[in-house]
Amino acid sequence: MTQPSWPPLESNPNVLTTFARELGLPKEYQITDVFSLDLLMMIPHPCHAVILLYPITEKNKELKKIQQETSREFVFPKSLYYMKQTIRNACGTIGVLHAVLNNIEELGVKGWFKKFYEQTIEMDPETRGHTLEKDKEMIEKHEEHSEKGQTDQMDPEESTEYHFVTFVCKNNNLIQCDGRKETPVFCGETSPETLLEDASLYIKEQYLKRDPENLMFSFMALTHVPEED
């Protein structure tokens, strides 16, 4: 059976925020750029999820093997929402889903997100991925927002050289959700108050130090919208 393929979403907080709000994220929340991992005080707290876009290189492929091995015996919380990526180039959409659906109660999420969550909560990760493949509303929204941003829309049959993953806090565990891996990845301890700082430290130690010459990383956070003065 041929793997379905979608055009990728741009790593653009404005595009991803609009995309998420049209699917049910309340307007009080946003996906915002993290311009520097050393200036985290500029990001509104609390942070509900961190989304990392990284270049696919041989060094990061080595890390993938290490992560899967170290997480194989970890018992992940039942409250963790995790799904496999069964659609080529859909990692941006999967990243947003992992960020929002792991905070569905805290954020008061409605609309498509809530409907899909209720439809798939009892499914295994693989079945969740295949259910997404056939969701007509998501297919339309993804197609619409893949045309937005500053770069030309990519042919869905081409494979992108970048990949989105999401970090969330569950039961004070820092967990990376990456639909291409066999399981989620246990990354250490954290808390709802320190998720941004702990995820940033993990990214520095495991990604940036492993590939220090590569500048093609980007970071975003799911936070509330700051109140105007």
Catalytic center residues: 91, 163
- Please give the C-alpha separations between residue 205 and each of 43, 81, 171, 199, 211, in angstroms, as whole numbers: 21, 25, 23, 10, 10
Strands across the sheet containing 47-55 = 29-33, 218-224, 47-55, 162-170, 173-177, 185-189
Structure tokens at 103: 């905070």
- Exposure b/e, 210-220, CB count within 10 A at least 16 = b: ebeeeeebbbb
Which of 168-179 are b and which e, b meaning 16 or more Cβ less than 10 Å from the residue's Cβ?
bbbeebbbbbbb
Helix (H, G, I), strand (E, B) or coil at 52: strand
- Could you say which DSSP state residue 88 is in? B
Contact between 94 and 83 (Cβ < 8 Å)? yes
The CA-based angle 104-109-113, given to 5 degrees, is 85
